[in-house]
Amino acid sequence: MTSATAAPPPFPRRLVVIGTGLIGTSVALAAGRLGAAVWLADRDPAAARFAAGLGAGDELPAAGPPGGPADLAVLAMPPEAVAPALAAAQERGLARCYTDVASVKELPLARARELGCDLATFVAGHPLAGRERSGPAAARADLFLGRPWAICPLPETSDEATSTVAALASACGAQPVRMLAADHDRWVALVSHIPHLVAAAMGARLELAQADALALAGQGLRDVTRIAAGDTGLWTQILAANAAHAASLLPAIAEDLSAMAVALAGIAEGDEESLKRLTGLLERGGAGVARIPGKQGGPPAAYTVVQVVIGDQPGELARVFQAAGEAGINIEDVRIEHSPGLPAGVLELSVGPQAAAGLTAALAAGGWPVRR
């Protein structure tokens, strides 16, 4: 924001959504719930009619929104389609501002510049939300709740356009986050596009596997490969639009897997150094995963957890906390796990690492089964 005098535009009350797939229809549902007037269009008229039937808005008349340009037009389509759709929409004067929701940002911006689009009224955007199901039938008004929504204004982008899109993101329950398009593309390559390729490479190993082997599959395999079941055509487009960033990250993963294979072959021969190398590779993986923020966006916890078995007698919890308090222990977090049908549960007490030994001793002295 370069101007401090202009009042921030309110949440866009008149919205056009072009592209009524999962994301477009979800934006329409969320905005409509807040009272916005929403007009829907899609290159497949049946899809727009379907979304309208769901209550996501009205079909966009050929003459444009009744009463003149909308506050904002959302272009909800794959990256390659954004710039031509923007040029057409600006030509028709559909709205005062425009945004897109495609999962890469440099390519649509570059193409829009090539096509001579007005970049003062266009803000490239990307809500980081999705489902493994696609299409309007999978849309949900709460799809964006608590998710980041990347907003990548250019130097020439108007403040009004930027804050209109930020207001839409906030109204949808998302957190608008401003960033450079180049940073966005590098970052989503790491946290979204590369995981997709890794899942696909794992999935490809199942193509010729014996059915008896697949019958042993558990939640782990399903989780690792789930996203590879997504729409292959859409993903080819997404990856192609971010090809250079994605290509740069893959060799390191391939090298780690090759190093794991070498270490395992060494272990099979009884080599102790290979065992250490494998452990080191696994620990780096665990350390990386631990850096993914929790769903609430906070940093990963650094507490030690002490577990104590508690019965369901009245006052049991109070007695545990009293014993902890008398030992001078500051308890940071509490969680109760209860197996169905059992008279006892497990109380998990999170404490600073230096307090864990004292708490364990205090509770053991009080007669509770306890472990760290």
Binding positions for a copy of itself, 234-263, rule CB under 8 A? 235-236, 239-240, 243-244, 246-247, 249-258, 260-262
169 near a copy of itself, rule: CB under 8 A? no
Binding segment for a copy of itself (CB under 8 A), chosen from 8-16, 108-116, 222-230, 351-359, is 222-230
Is 313:348 a contact under the CB 8 Å cutoff?
A: no
Residues 312-371 within binding reach of a copy of itself (CB under 8 A): 337, 339-344, 346, 348, 368-371
Segment contacting a copy of itself by CB under 8 A, of 83-91, 151-159, 180-188, 313-321: 180-188
- In angstroms, give the least distance from the CB of 199 to a copy of itself: 6
Task: Pick the piece of the chain touching a copy of itself (CB under 8 A) from 62-70, 154-162, 288-296, 315-323.
Answer: 288-296
The residues in 80-119 that bind a copy of itself, with binding defined as CB under 8 A, are none
The reply to whether 29 sits near a copy of itself by the rule CB under 8 A is yes
> Exactly one of 1, 6, 110, 137 binds a copy of itself (CB under 8 A); which one?
137
Cα gap 125→106, rounded to integer Å: 11
d(CA 61, CA 16): 11
| Dihedrals phi, psi of 86, to nearest 5 degrees | -65, -45
- Closer residue to a copy of itself (CB): 255 or 333: 255
Query: Would you count residue 293 as binding a copy of itself (CB under 8 A)?
Result: yes
Please state the closest distance from residue 133 (CB atom) to a copy of itself, in A.
Answer: 9
Of 87, 88, 120, 224, the one binding a copy of itself by CB under 8 A: 224
With vertex at residue 23, the alpha carbon angle to CA 19 and CA 28, rounded to the nearest 5 degrees, is 75
Which sign, positive or negative, has the C-alpha torsion 291, 188, 17, 140?
negative
Q: Which long-range contacts (CB under 8 A, 24 or more apart) does 46-54 make?
A: 47/20, 47/21, 47/135, 47/136, 48/20, 50/20, 50/136, 50/137, 51/20, 51/24, 51/25, 51/136, 51/139, 54/25, 54/29, 54/136, 54/137, 54/139
